[in-house]
Amino acid sequence: MLKQSKSVNTANGRKLTFKPFKKPVKGLPDGFEEATWAKLQAAVRAVHNKEPVSTSLEELYKAVEDMCHHKMAESLYARLQKECDAHIASQIQRLASSSTADPVLFLDQVGAVWDDMCRQMLTIRQVFTFLDRSFVVAAPGVRSLFDMGLQQFRTHLEARPQVGEKLQRGLLQQIQTERRGDAINRQLLTNLLRMLSSLGIYSTAFEAPFLEETTQFFQEEGRRLMEELDPAGYLLHCERRLREELMRRRECLAEGTEPPLQEAVEAQLVAAHLAALLDRGFPTLVAARRLDDLARLYNLADRVDMLDPVRFAFRDHIKATGTALVMDKDKDGEMVQGLLDMKAAMDAVLQQSFEGDPDFGNTLKEAFEAFINQRQNKPAELIAKFIDAELKSGKKGQTEDQLEATLDRVLILFRYISGKDVFEAFYKKDLAKRLLLGRSASTDAEKGMIAKLKAQCGAQFTSKLEGMFKDVDLSRDIVSSFRSSTAAQARIPQGVDMNINIMTAGYWPTYPVVDAKLPAELNEYQQVFKDFYLDKHQGRRLVWHNSLGTCLLKAHFQKGPKELSVSLFQTVVLSLFNDADRLGFTDIAAATGIEDRELRRTLQSLACGKWRVLTKEPKGRDVNDGDTFVFNAGFSAQLYRIKINSIQMRETVEENTKTNEQVVQDRQHQIDAAIVRIMKTRKTLSHALLVSELLVQLKFPIRTQDMKKRIESLIDREFLARDSANSNVYQYLA
Amino acid sequence: MMKRAKKAMGGAANRAAGGSSALFEQYCDPATDEIGPEGRKFLRTLHLMPINLCVLAVLLSLMLAVHAGVERFCSDINTDPSDRKVLLLAWKMRAKRMGFFSREEFQSGLTALKATTTAQIQRALPGLEEQVECNPDSFRDFCTFAFKYCLTEPSQKLIDIDTAVTMLAIVMPREPLMPRFCDFLKEQTEYKVINFDQWTSFLRFAQEVKPDLSNYRDEDAWPILLDNFVEWGRRNADRPIDFT
């Protein structure tokens, strides 16, 4: 209020004076506070009793404001507080004395009380807004009106523990009911849980016991269902439960409950039983290619951070099935195809169920490497043979792309094998046969294969194989120039034409030289060619390999001529019958000079097989010394050209053993060379260090036993000696 | 024949003769100037026999009524020819050929023993035994000698199993592992002969490895023969030892 008058000088000099209103300051009427409070109290009570309020909101609002203006805020607050407190106390008391046995009804009651309280407090706060915004804000430690109400509610609730207990039981029971499959009032649940949050007692009054019950529930359920359901069904159930729990949480429970809830369910349903699930179910699921179920397993295991056990189960399964495949000696013929199929299946599982997880990928690789090397040498040999079959002519029903895809897949298997020199030995042998006997389906495919091997194993591995191809090309050139050389052509005998392959000794496999007395024309031709060749390449030595020769003969039978595709040895034998119709075994032996076993095999193929251009007396499979062979003049067949030399292509048991033995021999030499090399550099080395150094240097698997054998051999041959002072140390003897 | 008559004098009378040289001449074969089992024919047969019979023939008493030089010598020192002491003597003499002592060998051996008469030789024998027993270097040397002593051919490097077994029994009769090792050698079929490295390795084995084989490590540089022995030994731990 203006107390002083103000004077202002106007433009024309007259003084203007302002005087304050002279209103007399009335003192507050007596009983102002009581009367005002009575009005307010009546309103509050009406709200609490859900009756209409007689006084208007404006008036009430002003009453509050007045009281606050007249320094009655604090006592007003106290009075209001007392009023609310009494009301809330009675509400809670009603709940405490409620005899409702049905938990749902009780929850309803609690819910109703809470709703009322909230609504009423809001209304009251509306009325007492001025108080809330002035006094409460200014005074520290004084709760806002709504909070005051909450606080009172909570206090009284805590004073009546049986209410809280009943409430808790009811809430938990609701959740269990829903878990068991029955419907509940989710809205009520949500409401009450929010109430607990607002009251600040959510964790103690609900969350902690909820989590405990959840754990127990799923512990029991997990155990029960593990007995009742098969693994795939169980996993499905886990997935469903997790989904349900999380959805309920999202709708009804506080956000903070989600992590512990999820953890509890996962721990009880998944983690606790994962080992048993893997044990019981993993192999069957994989074997039955249940990719979806496996994906589910992977996801669930990932959630509980237990991917490692799954990975080990994967590894063990691969090892078990793989070992069974590889070790079954009766099923060697199907091993490679079986391995290819298995690899494809495991790859599908890896990609589709395990999300291409790199750790699982590594485990797959390691597991394959482990089992495939359980059996020494055989897998490598069989893979080489498989590729041989693919690359040979007569293999029908594949496009180029399909062939390439197959070869790529086989090479992946090859990569797992540790003794690659066995593969090389067999591959070389088979390749040589294909090249020399003209059995390759496609040179492009052959060269492509070499390129793949080179990329995998390095140039050194394939250098000899490439050399073989070069030899074939060079031979073609030489033969062509031989054919165009008039001088040479003049000297060759009539009626013979030869195609010759010159093999550089180091590239090709070694073949035993089997002598035979060739027909004169063949000898002559060979001599002319030899002269021609050595003329161009002095200083070289040529050795004819009869066992590899093939011929195309024109044979005249009674029913007409035929072309016979035969081996050189078969030719030598057959040409004897140009001069005689019947010949005894011993005569043939003498005339051909062919080694005994080879001769018998040759005669067998001519007289005892499918195409009998000779007949044997007496009949029978075996060729005995006393047998006689007769030219089968009456021979007939559908085709004009008949192949009788398929025995050349087939691998004999001896050949196989020989190749394997050669690998063993080569390895021994390599070990010896490595030992000498190491010892020469180091001069003196302990046994343990020598062994570890060898394991690093040698590219094939080797046992310590084998190393010791070679060391002892070298000691015997005086390359090494044991150190006189320390028996575990070797000395290099220069 | 003349020398045989001289033999009747006996060892004691030699004191007058003086020197190992004289002693040598009592037993040696004048044609070869060495002490050996006499009888050329017998010698030739010996060479044709497999080596083990050779050993037996030499070290066991001959059934022939031939007073061979070695046998006489042995009886004069009151020692059975198959006794270990004879081998020890051979070792001292560094004898190169089994069953024979050359003049130099005989003389150098006696010098080392400081003996000129058979009586003195006899008295020196226990000392020899003790030397080998107590001095590990001497024992090693003795064992090495024993192996080489069995090699009759110039380029021979190996001795067959039977010879090895016999030799081991003579060379280390008190070694607890020896009987079992001999059993093993006879039973196994992988090795038909033993080389020098394996022989010396067994010597080391006997020194380093406990009789129950518990401290053997096969990742050490033992020859495979001994790896096999340990495996066999562990498998047959309960079997009684075959002393035949």
| Segment A563-577, tens digit of pLDDT | 998 999 999 999 999
Which of A106, A221, A114 lies closest to A171 in space, CA to CA?
A106
Choice between A14 and B95, residue whose per-residue pLDDT is larger: B95
Q: Which residue has the higher pLDDT, B198 or B32?
A: B198
Mean pLDDT in residue range A143-153: 89
| Residue in chain A lying closest to B196 (CA) | A716
For residue A723, the distance in angstroms to the closest alpha carbon of chain B comes to 11
Burial B205-238 (b: 16+ CB within 10 A, else e): bbeebeeebeebeeeebbbbbbbbbbebbeeeee
Measured between CA atoms, the residue of chain B closest to residue A685 is B221
Q: Say which of B219, B220, B224 has its CB closest to residue A712.
A: B224
Residue-wise pLDDT for A121-133, tens only, equals 998 888 888 888 8
| Chain A interface includes B138 (CB < 8 A) | no
In the structure encoding, which two tokens stand for residue A725, read together?
């002072």
- Cβ within 8 Å, pair A727-B204: yes
CB atoms closer than 10 angstroms to residue A199: 17
pLDDT of A328 strictly over 70: yes
Contact B197 A730 (CB under 8 A): no
A711 vs chain B: nearest CA distance in angstroms?
A: 9
Residue bearing the bigger pLDDT, A576 or A400? A576
* Cβ pair A728:B195 closer than 8 A: no
| pLDDT at site B96 | 83
Give the per-residue pLDDT at A265. Answer: 94
Indicate the pairing of strand A628-631 with strand A614-617. Answer: antiparallel
Cβ <8 Å between A722 and B220: no
Q: Are the Cβ atoms of A705 and B224 closer than 8 angstroms?
A: yes
Q: Which two tokens stand for residue A319?
A: 């090892």
A687 and B220 in contact by Cβ < 8 A?
Answer: yes
The backbone torsions φ and ψ at residue A557, rounded to the nearest 5 degrees and listed phi first, read -110, 170
pLDDT at B60: 47
The backbone torsions φ and ψ at residue A539, rounded to the nearest 5 degrees and listed phi first, read 85, 0
**Which tokens is B115 given?**
């003996």
pLDDT at position A290 is 92
pLDDT band at B63 (very low <50, low <70, confident <90, very high): very low
In the predicted model, is pLDDT for residue B65 greater than 80?
no
Interface test with B, best of A695, A719, A722 (most B CBs within 10 A): A722
A699, A420 in Cβ contact below 8 A? yes
Residue A189 pLDDT level (bands cut at 50, 70, 90): very high
Q: Which of residues 680-699 of A touch B (CB under 8 A)?
A: 687-688, 691
Residue keyed to tokens 């070499």? A450
**What are the structure tokens assigned to B114, written together?**
């400081």
Residues of A in contact with B219 (CB under 8 A): 687-688, 691, 704
pLDDT value of position B15: 42
Containing A238, the helix (H) or strand (E) segment is: helix A231-252
Name the nearest CA neighbour of A657 among A465, A426, A432, A390. A426
Residues in A touching B224 (Cβ below 8 Å): 705, 708-709, 712
State the nearest Cα–Cα gap between B203 and chain A, in angstroms: 12
Chain A residues 308-347 with CB within 8 Å of chain B? none
Interface probe for B, chosen from A694, A727, A731 (most Cβ of B below 10 Å), is A727
User: A723 to chain B: which residues are within 8 Å by CB?
Assistant: none
Cβ contact (<8 Å) for B221 and A687?
Answer: yes
* Residue corresponding to tokens 């496609």: A442
pLDDT at residue number B69: 77
Nearest to A41 by CA among A76, A93, A3: A76
For residue B6, pLDDT over 50 is answered with no
pLDDT surpassing 90 at residue A19: no
Q: Is A715 on the interface with B (CB under 8 A)?
A: yes
Q: What is the mean pLDDT of residues A17-23?
A: 72
Chain B CB contacts of A709 under 8 Å are 224
Residues A384-402, mean pLDDT to the nearest whole number: 84
Is B223 in Cβ contact with A730 (below 8 Å)?
no
Query: Please, what's the b/e burial string for A688-725 (b: 16 or more CB within 10 A of its CB; e: otherwise)?
Result: eebbebbeeeeebebeeebbbebbbebbeeebbebeee
B153 interface with A at CB cutoff 8 Å: no
Using CA atoms, how far apart are residues A457 and A451, in angstroms rounded to an integer?
A: 10
Q: Which of B195, B219, B227 sits opposite A688 (nearest CB)?
A: B219
pLDDT of residue A27: 67
pLDDT value at residue B73 = 82
Does any CB of chain A come closer than 8 Å to the CB of residue B137? no
Position A458, amino acid: G
Could you give the count of Cα atoms lying within 13 Å of A137 in the half-sphere of its Cβ?
A: 8
What average pLDDT does range A194-216 have in this prediction?
A: 92
- What pLDDT shows up at residue B2? 44
Instruction: Decide if B157 and A730 are in contact by the 8 Å CB cutoff.
Output: no
Nearest by CB to B224, from A708, A716, A722: name it.
A708
Asked if A598 and A569 touch (Cβ cutoff 8 Å), the reply is yes
Q: What is the pLDDT of residue B47?
A: 52
| Length, in residues, of chain A | 734
| Per-residue pLDDT reduced to its tens digit, A508-559 | 988 888 888 998 889 999 999 999 999 989 889 999 998 888 889 999 999 8
Tell me the sheet residues that pair with B101: B35
A25: confidence class by pLDDT, cuts 50, 70, 90: low
Say what the pLDDT of residue A591 is: 92
Whether pLDDT at B16 is above 70: no
pLDDT at B56: 55
Nearest-CA distance from B175 to chain A in Å?
21
Q: Which residues of B touch A716 (CB under 8 A)?
A: 157, 195, 197
Q: What is the model's pLDDT at position A260?
A: 94
| B66 has pLDDT over 80 | no
The pLDDT score that the predictor gives to residue A8 is 60
**What separation in angstroms does the CA of A405 have from each of A188, A334, A458?**
64, 19, 21
How far apart (Å, rounded) are the C-alpha atoms in residues A678 and A673? 9
- Shortest Cα–Cα distance, B49 to chain A (Å): 26
Determine contact: A728 vs chain B, CB below 8 A: yes
What's the gap in Å between the CA of A712 and the closest CA on chain B? 7
pLDDT at position A4: 57
Whether the per-residue pLDDT at A239 is higher than 90: the answer is: yes
B144/A contact by beta carbon, under 8 A: no
Is the CB of A718 inside 8 Å of chain B's CB atoms?
A: no
Alpha helices in B135-223 (DSSP H): 136-149, 161-171, 178-187, 196-208
End-to-end CA distance of chain A: 124
d(CA A196, CA A205): 7
Calculate the average pLDDT of chain A: 89
Coil, strand or helix at B209 = coil
Residue B243's pLDDT band (boundaries 50, 70, 90)?
low
Distance of CA A564 to the CA centre of its chain: 54
Q: Decide if A716 and B201 are in contact by the 8 Å CB cutoff.
A: no
Mean pLDDT value across chain B: 76
Tokens of B184: 């093993």
